[in-house]
């Protein structure tokens, strides 16, 4: 019995998002200004809902700053030979760190809101509402800045699953949406307190906001964590690879398959095939058949020919 092996490689990795970075940088500046206003106003006017929104905006500013840093690092080390598949995972790591920050802020918001429920403080409703409205308007501007880039990321990878989008940009976009949601909740709570004297609603909305932020953060943490751990053998592209091999005129059995993400909508693949009694078909034959799936940008094919002697 004789065995032969053939390997074939191809690679092209993309990193960075200059337009998304520019939009995020503007969002950081706007957020920092309103963050200071909301935290100061929340303490001064006694509104837990407004204060919670300000705290969340502080995490939002930090997380957006991390997104910009991740893009910078990704671009800086894009051609560093130490990163065999490029430095794209800096962006994923930025998204994961943002999720951790969001979880921490959600816990802080919930703790302080519970404290305010047991020990209420007087609230200056008119002033607090005015500051909250400014915060909401700022969040809407930031969402508009990032929305086009977020949508373009999805459209660019429309042929694949939704997780192919820029996870770092998705983290920034989710922070903006979470900010907008907590701003709306803060305004509603303050209006209810002012119109109907429902002072208890202010800290309750703080708790609701904490649950909302925590839920989004857990979703983002799971999404980015799976990429960092290479736990994506359930991605659609894996089944697509199996279908290509199964449909091949040259019969082959998959004996080894490894797939992992190396870029936005880009995957690397190591495919081990076993052929029996079918001449000396090369690895390039199977790699060419896999070209139909553009998301496979780095493919290694190993062939094991088994023959009777």
Q: Which CATH number goes with the domain that contains 261?
A: 3.30.70.1350
Whether the CB-CB separation of 170 and 73 falls below 8 Å is answered with no
Domain count, the chain: 2
**8 occurs within a structural domain:** no
State the CATH number of the domain containing residue 223: 1.20.1510.10
Q: What is the mean pLDDT of each run of 10 residues along the chain (309 residues)?
A: 42 50 76 82 77 71 74 78 78 82 83 82 81 84 70 44 52 73 82 83 81 82 88 90 92 92 86 79 89 91 75
Domain that residue 189 falls in? 18-228
If asked whether residues 204 and 158 sit together in one domain, one would say yes
If asked whether residues 215 and 124 sit together in one domain, one would say yes
If asked whether residues 262 and 178 sit together in one domain, one would say no
If asked whether residues 39 and 67 sit together in one domain, one would say yes
The secondary structure of residue 307, as a DSSP letter, is B
What is the value of pTM for the model shown?
A: 0.67
Whether the CB-CB separation of 106 and 63 falls below 8 Å is answered with no
Point out the domain boundary residue: 164, 199, 228: 228
pLDDT of residue 301: 93
If asked whether residues 102 and 214 sit together in one domain, one would say yes
pLDDT of residue 21: 65
pLDDT of residue 286: 92
pLDDT of residue 168: 59
Point out the domain boundary residue: 168, 203, 228: 228
CA-CA distance, 272 to 21, in Å (whole number)?
Answer: 39
pLDDT of residue 65: 77
If asked whether residues 76 and 206 sit together in one domain, one would say yes
Helix axes 18-45, 125-156, angle to 10 degrees: 160
If asked whether residues 92 and 149 sit together in one domain, one would say yes
The set of residues, in sequence order, having a beta carbon less than 8 Å from that of 137 and lying 6+ positions away, is none
């Amino acid at each position: 019995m004789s065995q032969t092996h053939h390997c074939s490689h191809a690679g092209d990795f993309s990193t960075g998002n200059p337009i998304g970075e520019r939009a995020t940088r503007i969002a950081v500046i706007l957020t920092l200004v309103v963050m200071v206003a909301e935290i100061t106003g929340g303490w001064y006017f006694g509104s837990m809902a407004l204060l919670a929104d300000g705290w969340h905006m502080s995490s939002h500013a930090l997380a957006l700053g991390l997104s910009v840093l991740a893009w910078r690092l990704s671009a800086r080390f894009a051609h560093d030979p130490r990163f065999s598949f490029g430095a794209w995972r800096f962006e994923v790591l930025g998204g994961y760190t943002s999720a951790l920050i969001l979880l921490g802020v959600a816990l802080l918001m919930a703790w302080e809101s519970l404290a305010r429920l047991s020990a209420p403080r007087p609230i200056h409703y008119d002033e607090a509402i005015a500051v909250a409205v400014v915060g909401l308007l700022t969040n809407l501007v930031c969402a508009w800045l990032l929305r086009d880039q977020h949508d373009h990321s999805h459209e660019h990878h429309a042929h694949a699953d939704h997780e192919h989008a820029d996870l770092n940009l998705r983290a920034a976009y989710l922070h903006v949406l979470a900010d907008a949601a907590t701003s709306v909740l803060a305004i509603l709570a303050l209006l209810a307190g002012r119109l109907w004297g429902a002072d208890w609603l202010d800290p309750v909305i703080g708790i609701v906001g904490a649950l909302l932020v925590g839920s989004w953060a857990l979703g983002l943490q799971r999404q980015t964590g799976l990429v960092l751990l290479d736990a994506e053998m359930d991605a659609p592209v894996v089944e697509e690879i199996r279908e290509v091999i199964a449909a091949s005129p040259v019969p082959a059995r998959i004996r080894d398959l490894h797939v992992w993400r190396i870029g936005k909508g880009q995957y690397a693949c190591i495919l081990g095939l076993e052929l029996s009694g079918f001449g000396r078909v090369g690895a390039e034959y199977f790699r060419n058949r896999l070209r139909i799936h553009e998301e496979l940008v780095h493919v290694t094919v190993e062939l094991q020919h088994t023959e009777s002697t």
